[in-house]
Amino acid sequence: MPELIAHKIAMLGTGLIGDFYTMTLHAQRGRDRVVVAYSRSPERGEAFSKRWDIPRHTTSIDEAVNDPEVDTVVIALPNDLHLDAAQRVVKAGKNMLITKPLARTADEAKQIMDLAESAGVFGGYLEDLVYTPKTKVSLASVQSGAIGDVTWVRAREAHPGPHSAWFWDSKRAGAGAIVDLGCHCIEIARTFAGKDNRPVEVMAWADTLVHPIAAEDNSVFLVRFESGAIGQVEVSWTFRGGMDLRDEVAGTEGSIRIDHFLRTGLELFVSGGSAGYVAEKAETDTGWLFPVGDEVGELGYIDMFTDMFEAIDHGGVPRETLYDGYVVNAVIDAALASAKSKKWEPVQLEWRGGAAKSIKRVPEMHDGKTVVKRELLPDGRSKLILNDPETGEISDVVIG
């Protein structure tokens, strides 16, 4: 029987994501605890500590990080504070888990990664959405070859906009919806296309359609991977109807549709009164509602922390590393560049993966021609559409 290791955690940041993380950490394995919370506001620190029964809170990052009981620090701060906080955690030599996105730019992300790696400190990237139960099951199917080679991944995250002010300030966040939501979508696309499949170039549209801000509130962009596969990212801060969190995968032999949030088999009609809390970013509490059964489970938080702690406890590598966070920031940089230049932009990064194979194309031959399509006719014969490899002429033939 494995020894039970319990972790004592410092939580830097007391916003919505800090709530989700702490709820998960306290419930999940029943033994890990947040023992100190940092907030620059003493009032918010105190409220957070009361809410989650946390013994200590402080307005000093260093005090939280160097708390002698603490072995692991979760950085759940605004994007512009990640690098500074990471420096302090690395200096203290604690395990470091950083929320998404890793940083505002690939350059900042690389600094964080390099710091941790040269100090030999454990670093994990808290990208929850690749850990959802549906993603896990789907990924197992993809990896077993059930849908053949992946050709296209759609990752969509859209809602009416974030809760905290700093998200809307591109100086602090790095950009708008592309950084806030795109980081999830990029990593979902990488996960299905293959982590060893280099993201080569990006073509992006971005615009500020509705909100009175400088940053983009809508974007669609395409990431071309080395294999030829395409990641299609759709993000919006102006979507109406709840949190639209869907992924689709197409492969040469099959396809997948995932709905994480709005259509998951639970449908509630409420005529008059209130149904109370429905789900994150839900817009209404009457009419037809689509609550999520186990929200922290469906969003992947549970499996994410389990993976992180298992890697820490047994000396392994978590599924999401600081390097993954750096790759995501490099793709974001390319997307932002493309939205300005109005052309495809290369993803600039120090690639650690190998070379990916192209999507398989082993066409069948018939009479010296390649078979474009084969269809079974009702009378039992087959119709072949043929391409003459020399002339490019297309023809068809019906065979016995």
Taking CB under 8 A as the binding criterion, the range among 43-51, 91-99, 119-127, 269-277 that sits at the site for its own copies is 269-277
Q: Which is nearer to its own copies, 93 or 241 (CB)?
A: 241
Q: Which is nearer to its own copies, 124 or 231 (CB)?
A: 231
Closest approach of its own copies to the CB of residue 90, in Å: 28
Closest approach of its own copies to the CB of residue 224, in Å: 7
Q: Which is nearer to its own copies, 118 or 271 (CB)?
A: 271
Distance CA 161, CA 167 (A): 9
Q: What tokens were used for 360?
A: 């398989």
CA distance readout (Å), 138 to 145, 321, 355:
11, 21, 24
Side chain identity at 376, as an amino acid letter?
A: L
Q: Which is nearer to its own copies, 239 or 323 (CB)?
A: 239
Q: Which residues of 220-231 are buried (b: 16+ CB within 10 A; e: fewer)?
A: bbbbbbbbbbbb
Is residue 153 a contact residue for its own copies (CB under 8 A)?
no
123 CB-near residues (< 8 Å, 6+ apart): 96, 97, 98, 112, 113, 116, 117, 321, 322
Give the footprint of its own copies on residues 328-367 (CB under 8 A).
341-344, 359, 361, 363
Is residue 393 a contact residue for its own copies (CB under 8 A)?
yes
Give the footprint of its own copies on residues 19-48 (CB under 8 A).
29-31, 33
Q: Would you give the binding string for its own copies spanning residues 270-309, x where CB under 8 A is met?
A: xxxxxxx------xx-xxxxxxxxx--xx-----------
**For its own copies, which residue of 43, 118, 120, 165 counts as binding (CB under 8 A)?**
165
Closest approach of its own copies to the CB of residue 106, in Å: 22
Give the footprint of its own copies on residues 183-222 (CB under 8 A).
203, 205, 207, 209-214, 218, 220, 222
Distance CA 15, CA 45 (A): 10
CA distance readout (Å), 250 to 139, 141, 191, 238, 259:
12, 12, 13, 27, 15
Closest approach of its own copies to the CB of residue 255, in Å: 5
Q: Which is nearer to its own copies, 145 or 354 (CB)?
A: 145
Closest approach of its own copies to the CB of residue 288, in Å: 4
Distance CA 372, CA 390 (A): 14
Helices (H), 33-105: 42-52, 61-65, 82-92
Is residue 230 a contact residue for its own copies (CB under 8 A)?
yes
Q: Which is nearer to its own copies, 38 or 309 (CB)?
A: 309
Burial classification of residue 240, based on how many CB atoms lie within 10 Å of its CB (0-12 exposed, 13-18 middle, 19 or more buried)? exposed
Q: Which is nearer to its own copies, 340 or 352 (CB)?
A: 340
Is residue 57 a contact residue for its own copies (CB under 8 A)?
no
Taking CB under 8 A as the binding criterion, the range among 56-64, 76-84, 166-174, 324-332 that sits at the site for its own copies is 166-174
- Between helix 106-119 and helix 82-92 the angle, nearest 10°, is 0
For residues 154 and 234, is the Cβ–Cβ distance under 8 A? yes
Per rule CB under 8 A, count of chain residues that contact its own copies: 118
Q: Can you tell me which residue has the tokens 């993803």?
A: 347
Closest approach of its own copies to the CB of residue 120, in Å: 27
Closest approach of its own copies to the CB of residue 364, in Å: 9
Q: Which is nearer to its own copies, 107 or 207 (CB)?
A: 207
DSSP states of 112-159: HHHHHHHHT--EEEE-GGGSSHHHHHHHHHHHTTTT-SEEEEEEEEE-
Cβ neighbour number for residue 140 with a 10 Å cutoff = 10
Is residue 241 a contact residue for its own copies (CB under 8 A)?
yes
